[in-house]
Amino acid sequence: MEIVNNTFNKEKSINALLYFASRVERSDFHKIFKLLYFSDRLHLAKYGTPITGDLYIAMDDGPVPSNIYDILKMVRGDSYYKDSEGFSELMAVDNWMYITPKKDADLRKLSKNNLYVMNECLENYGDLSFDEIREKSHDTAWRSTAKNYVISLDDMSMEAGVHQDELDYVHENCKMQSFLNK
């Protein structure tokens, strides 16, 4: 049994994005996407659920969070959808790919465990160059997924050190999280 998707948590995702964008020197889409991926992957291993619940697509330069990317395209103005939820009041996209927070992350929307994992990922990956973080994100989960397809949570979990026999625990936690997010 494999979980293909978890429920996207828009509030946590936006606040995680703002948190990272305000704490790295180069806050471009690529860096933020990879920090979110590493955080979701590590959170799966430590706590049995991702932080954002986003679907990661295996793209040329590594995993891309689908819903977050769609939100950033709305803010940038090149989406099929209008920014009806006011995301552009929270952030701007400059020079097509740099995220500039207009507001601080609401830390009440992120748990202590979320922040612990995100800070660990900032420490491990925050200062890496484009090429370095790209290479690290080209992990087994990314390589085992066809280009432009969703990377499974099972593959992300196992990449982070979850053993095959522990995946049922991850599945149950993700089901519970999906239920709670509704």
pLDDT for 56-81, tens place per residue?
A: 999 999 999 999 999 999 999 998 88
Asked whether residue 4 is domain-assigned, the answer is: no
Chain mean pLDDT for the chain = 90
Residue pLDDT, tens place only, 78-120: 988 888 999 999 999 999 999 999 999 999 999 999 999 999 9
For residue 151, tell me if it sits in a domain.
Answer: yes
Structural domains in the chain (count): 1
Asked whether residue 3 is domain-assigned, the answer is no
For residues 91 and 142, give the distance between their C-alpha atoms in angstroms, rounded to a whole number: 29
64, containing H or E segment: strand 62-65
Provide the domain limits for residue 35. 10-181
Q: How far apart are CA 164 and CA 182, in angstroms?
A: 28
Cα torsion angle, 10, 4, 140, 71, sign: negative
